[in-house]
């Protein structure tokens, strides 16, 4: 029977979700979490290995002669040495676009949280502040409208395009920093220069994958171009932002606020200054984690293995 190993199953299947669909294809061994020093021993003899964030290095891959398939339980696959896998004839498959709607709604959850402060007002009411108020209404801080705001989107893949679509529905002016030509974009998206992108956007949404070329895309230089009213949203990858520079810009009020679902190191060090920054809202990498999205992830992952076994692999990474 084929040995199928899941190295870090907990986050994807928490809340009662199941990997039962994989059991049709072999003996499934599930680990909630796997430390780096345990990866090789747990993968030994496996026909297929599934990983979300556990790193599969060239060294480990080279010591696994029985391994024929690596399933990445995510869209991003920078945790797997693809070249090493390909050189050994190991097929690597990921799960693209499974969480688009979930990530996009988190973009706007952060944005609305910053502009409306709904939860802070709710907690204030529960604390008795409204009952003690002399007026019929009060504000903890000024609120704002999304309507007519200018949003700049970096990364026009599935997620970025959907962010643009919803921003347009809110009545926002949508611009993008993109390599795509204007003729290839919907009429409501305007391609802009890098300088205009940073200097004229009221909101900047990061929706691009992390590459060697865009690490620290948000840095002291680009932050200095932004308006004091700018709101920065990142639901993509933490490495797109120089966190020290962002912390400084926020505390010095060079930009208005940031909403982050990702950080450079996850989980973060307790000393990360953004954790105590009053102008930064942070969620713990939850944008992809809706129950619907995770069910989709598990199903597509099982289907990817099925198609590979049948000789017709899908979503192959090369």
Rounded distance between C-alpha atoms, residue 124 and residue 128, angstroms = 7
How many angstroms separate the most distant Cα atoms in the chain? 74
CA 318 – CA 98 distance, rounded (Å): 19
Distance CA 203, CA 45 (A): 50
Task: Provide φ and ψ at 232, rounded to 5°.
Answer: -110, 130
> Would residue 162 show up in a list of annotated catalytic residues for this protein?
no
237 is catalytic: yes
CA-to-CA distance for 70 and 10, rounded, in angstroms? Answer: 18
The DSSP string of 212-236 is: TTTTTSB-HHHHHHS-TT-EEEE-S
> Which candidate in 237, 281, 294, 296 is catalytic?
237
Catalytic site includes residue 23: no
Residues 6+ apart with CB under 8 A from 187: none
Could you tell me if 204 and 233 are in contact, meaning their C-beta atoms sit under 8 angstroms apart?
Answer: yes
SS3 280: strand
The catalytically annotated residue of 162, 281, 285, 296 is 285
Q: Are 20 and 44 in contact (CB under 8 A)?
A: no
**Catalytic residue, candidates 23, 27, 266, 269:** 266
Catalytic residue IDs: 237, 266, 285
């Amino acid at each position: 029977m084929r040995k199928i190993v899941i190295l870090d199953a907990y986050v994807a299947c928490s809340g009662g979700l199941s990997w039962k669909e994989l059991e049709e294809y072999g003996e499934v061994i599930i680990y909630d979490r796997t430390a780096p020093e345990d990866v090789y021993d747990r993968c030994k003899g496996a026909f297929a290995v599934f990983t979300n964030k556990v790193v599969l290095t060239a060294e480990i891959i080279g010591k696994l002669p029985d391994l024929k398939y690596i399933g990445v339980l995510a869209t991003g696959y920078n945790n797997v040495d693809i070249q090493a896998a390909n050189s050994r004839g190991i097929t690597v498959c990921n799960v693209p676009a499974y969480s688009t709607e979930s990530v996009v709604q988190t973009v706007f959850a952060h944005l609305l949280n910053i502009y409306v402060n709904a939860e802070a007002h709710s907690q204030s009411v529960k604390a008795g502040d409204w009952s003690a108020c002399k007026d019929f209404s009060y504000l903890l801080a000024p609120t704002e409208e999304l309507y007519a705001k200018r949003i700049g989107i970096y990364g026009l893949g599935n997620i970025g395009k959907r962010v643009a679509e919803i921003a347009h529905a809110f009545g926002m002016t949508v611009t993008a920093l993109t390599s795509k030509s204007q003729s290839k974009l919907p009429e409501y998206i305007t391609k802009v220069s890098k300088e205009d992108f940073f200097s004229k956007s009221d909101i900047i949404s990061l929706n691009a994958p992390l590459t060697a070329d865009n690490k620290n895309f948000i840095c002291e230089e680009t932050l200095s171009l932004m308006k004091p009213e700018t709101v920065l949203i990142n639901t993509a990858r933490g490495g797109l932002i120089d966190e020290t520079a962002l912390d400084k810009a926020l505390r010095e009020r060079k930009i208005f606020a940031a909403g982050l679902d990702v950080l450079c190191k996850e989980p973060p060090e307790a000393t990360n200054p953004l954790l105590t920054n009053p102008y930064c809202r942070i969620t713990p990498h939850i944008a992809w984690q809706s129950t619907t999205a995770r069910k989709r992830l598990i199903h597509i992952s099982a289907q990817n293995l099925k198609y590979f076994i049948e000789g017709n692999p899908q979503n192959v990474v090369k």
